Amino acid sequence: MTRHSAAVLSHHISLLPMNVNLTTWLLILRMIVSGGHYIPPALLRCRPADPPISALNGSAAANASHAIDVSGLTPRETEVLEMLASGQPNKIIAGQLNLSEHTVKLHIHRIIGKLGVTNRTEAAIWYHRNRSA
């Protein structure tokens, strides 16, 4: 963990990144306003060998399941949840995973049901609270 990571995590502080597009920034801000916390993934990375979330592809989805509590999610649902939690809109998730937007919406609907949350923002909050450090 970086030198400031432990202090930030212990105080439940959120950090607004300035190097993301406006849509992502607004989604992160909405999550924070609704009671969630956001820490850039690079700050939370404990092991230098961990790939950034955006670098995960279909073949790495199974390896990504170690990062969060499984909770009955399929590898593809885990992959969609990671991208959702990083602030990606459905259209971007669909493009990066070679899926239709409708399929992404179905995955998100199933994720929300399996996690017992009410919307995508709560799913993102769940992800950030439950992934292993």
pLDDT at 26: 83
If we measure between CA atoms, which residue out of 128, 100, 103, 133 comes closest to residue 115? 128
Task: List, for residues 45-83, the tens digit of each pLDDT value.
Answer: 554 444 444 444 444 444 444 444 456 889 999 999 999
* Secondary structure (DSSP) of 45-104: --STTPPPGGG--GGGHHHHGGGB--TT--HHHHHHHHHHHTT--HHHHHHHHT--HHHH
All residue ranges of the chain with pLDDT < 50 are 1, 47-69, 133
pTM score: 0.49
Domain positions in the chain are: 5-130
CATH architecture assignment, domain 5-130: Orthogonal Bundle (1.10)
